[in-house]
Amino acid sequence: MPLRQSRNGTDTKAAFMHWLYLYAAILFELSGTSCMKLSEGFQKPLPSIGIFIFYISSVLCLTLAVKVVDISIAYAIWSGVGIAVIATIGILFFGEPFTLRRFLFLTLIVVGVVGLNLSSGR
């Protein structure tokens, strides 16, 4: 049974795999950024090592994702979701303040990422 082809000629199964790479890149980036906070300025060795491991893993996965996903879409999703989720982690776990302004601007980031994704026509 032949694989279905997407609009850009990539089979659907492979395209799905590249979206999984993008989601993995986001999770690694979130882990690396969280380790940044936990390392206390590279004073704690394990989180300090985690920063490099997670960021290298994130860039590797992002590189694999952009083989199929448009780079403008992949990067917007990677950075936008990363910003929104890490801000939420900061509020929930690191005691950062939750303000109406912060919520408003994070919402604008999410709206921008969704709008860019919808404008791709795919």
What digits encode the pLDDT tens for the residues 50-106?
999 999 999 999 999 999 999 999 999 999 999 999 999 999 999 999 999 999 999
Report the DSSP beta bridge partners of residue 11. 5
Q: What is the pTM of this model?
A: 0.85
Q: What mean pLDDT value characterizes the chain?
A: 90
Q: Where are the domains of the chain?
A: 12-119
Please state, for a pLDDT cut of 70, what percent of the chain lies above it: 90
- Nearest by Cα to 83 from 110, 54, 64, 115: 110
Residue 20, both tokens? 């999984």
Residue 115, both tokens? 């709008």
Residue 116, pLDDT score:
85
